[in-house]
Chains A and B, each alone.
Chain A
């Protein structure tokens, strides 16, 4: 039940100078996080300046693609009309392994709606949208316990 969407009403990802590296990695099915090369602080969404030390220097750090659900919601009302046939669908915030507390928002797929829970171990699945565009969604981990992310507060 992997959802393929981006109907007309949904925004198309458009890379900026600050995010192009993230989307290039995604196209190669690598989940990355931006890491400050001066202080080591990780951040998401990608941006030009480290919010911790204000350095302009950063690199893309490749993550294992696993993590735990930090929080979630099940969208049951189709505010976005073209997603009406996807209702209900699950939006999750994932605390990513290896990212020092960084969370990203995505969907839980390949799962029954009732399976979602805070703390659920998940792993990335890539949805190819085109030759140069892939987006990460998550499914319950095939090998539970493989994740090391906590469910605590961001540093």
Chain B
């Protein structure tokens, strides 16, 4: 659908909450802090908001946060696709404003996973009584969330010869970016050797192949080009978006362990934006684990299937490299409160505005934010641009 003149969807404001450790804040307070800041960034107030989107881990989540924020929106959305949720929510918000349903959609994320649960449960799971329906077939064997990603990594190594050192290169590059981010949870530089000699959590993934576990959140404002013309910040255009799923949470139902839903939604989003991977100046890619990034750069078409290991080596993901990625330090080093997708969007917008600080990609014009959710179950791609086309 081509929107009416002036109704092209843009992002007019972004913010992160404080992070990575917020023992003094509730989950709702993190939403509130991020919302406040994003609206201020956009030059708007809560009174301007007529649409609201967020998601969390219980039903009617968005209405609960809306009540807390004192919002009575005429559009709301709480689609939950795990880590890719916020890319999906922003895509939906773009359609809503382009269709004329609403003018200003506030999208927020908040989590106090670190303070609430400590380190144990974050990359764990697999235990407990939560195994609805067919999930029991994967739940009986003591596998964990990291174990599922480890099995994908092992299969990638088997099929393509990917090495632990190549996976480690992802973590090293993220840490290098994080070193310049004063808020980042882990900032001490690390080497490939540090990663591969850190303890194995689930072969072949080491502790430093896994994301940090954090408190934090963020928010963004989706509105129209026309509305943004009266606002202080340069609008960032939502040029294309798409999402996909291949399975729920059962690894036994995943068609291939080395191809993610990004292979479906990435090309669609790029086509909708009228770009190719070569046009992308900076990427924000979900990095729950190092293997997640290797699979994603392949599936989005930045390199051929099986060549992700070589692609990420030697600083390939660093500013000045083949594809500057996760310029804030990513979930591997900066902040990962459970569903990190909002951080990808905020950092992509900051890069396109030239606010990237020490990791600014010179003259970044097109950015991609790609979220991954579940057990490599869902993917969602947003293509953002400084110009309308």
The answer to whether A and B interact is yes
A sample of 29 inter-chain contacts (CB < 8 A) reads: A9-B127, A10-B140, A11-B131, A11-B136, A14-B136, A18-B134, A45-B250, A71-B154, A71-B155, A73-B143, A73-B203, A73-B204, A73-B205, A75-B147, A77-B144, A79-B121, A79-B146, A80-B127, A80-B142, A91-B147, A104-B137, A104-B252, A105-B137, A105-B250, A105-B252, A106-B141, A119-B158, A153-B256, A154-B255
B25 to chain A, nearest CB (A): 26
Name A82's contact: one of B127, B146, B147 (CB within 8 Å): B127
Task: Name which of A77, A80, A82 has the most chain B CB atoms within 10 A of its CB.
Answer: A77
Please judge, given known A-B contacts A83-B142, A93-B151, whether A154 and B256 are in contact too, CB under 8 Å: yes
A interface list, Cβ under 8 A from B: 5-6, 9-11, 13-14, 16, 18-19, 44-47, 70-77, 79-83, 86, 89, 91, 93, 102-107, 118-119, 135, 151, 153-154
Please judge, given known A-B contacts A9-B127, A86-B142, whether A105 and B155 are in contact too, CB under 8 Å: no
* B184 interface residue per 8 A CB criterion: no
Task: Name which of A10, A11, A72, A79 has the most chain B CB atoms within 10 A of its CB.
Answer: A79
Q: Which residues of A contact B128 (CB under 8 A)?
A: 9, 11
Q: Which residues of A contact B70 (CB under 8 A)?
A: none
In the complex formed, the residue of A with least CB distance to B133 is: A16
Measured as residues with beta carbon below 8 angstroms from the partner, the interface class of chain B is 35 or more
A88 to chain B, nearest CB (A): 8
Residues 183-212 of chain B, each 1 if its beta carbon lies under 8 Å from chain A, else 0: 000000000000000011111110000000
Q: Which residues of A contact B121 (CB under 8 A)?
A: 79
Residues 141-180 of chain B, each 1 if its beta carbon lies under 8 Å from chain A, else 0: 1111011001110110010000000000000000000000
**A44/B144 in contact, CB under 8 A:** no
**B203/A10 in contact, CB under 8 A:** no
B interface list, Cβ under 8 A from A: 120-121, 123-131, 133-134, 136-144, 146-147, 150-152, 154-155, 158, 199-205, 250-253, 255-257
Q: Which residues of B contact A6 (CB under 8 A)?
A: 140
In the complex formed, the residue of A with least CB distance to B199 is: A76
Q: Which residues of A contact B152 (CB under 8 A)?
A: 71
**B141/A118 in contact, CB under 8 A:** no
**B139/A76 in contact, CB under 8 A:** no
**A135/B140 in contact, CB under 8 A:** yes
Q: Which residues of A contact B142 (CB under 8 A)?
A: 5, 10, 75, 80, 83, 86, 89, 91, 107
Please judge, given known A-B contacts A73-B202, A91-B151, whether A19 and B134 are in contact too, CB under 8 Å: yes
**B130/A45 in contact, CB under 8 A:** no
**B127/A105 in contact, CB under 8 A:** no
Name A105's contact: one of B146, B150, B204, B251 (CB within 8 Å): B251
Of all A-B residue pairs in the complex, the 3 with the closest CB atoms, nearest first, are: A79-B124, A45-B134, A80-B127
In the complex formed, the residue of A with least CB distance to B251 is: A105
In the complex formed, the residue of B with least CB distance to A47 is: B134
B157 to chain A, nearest CB (A): 8
Q: Which residues of A contact B134 (CB under 8 A)?
A: 18-19, 45-47
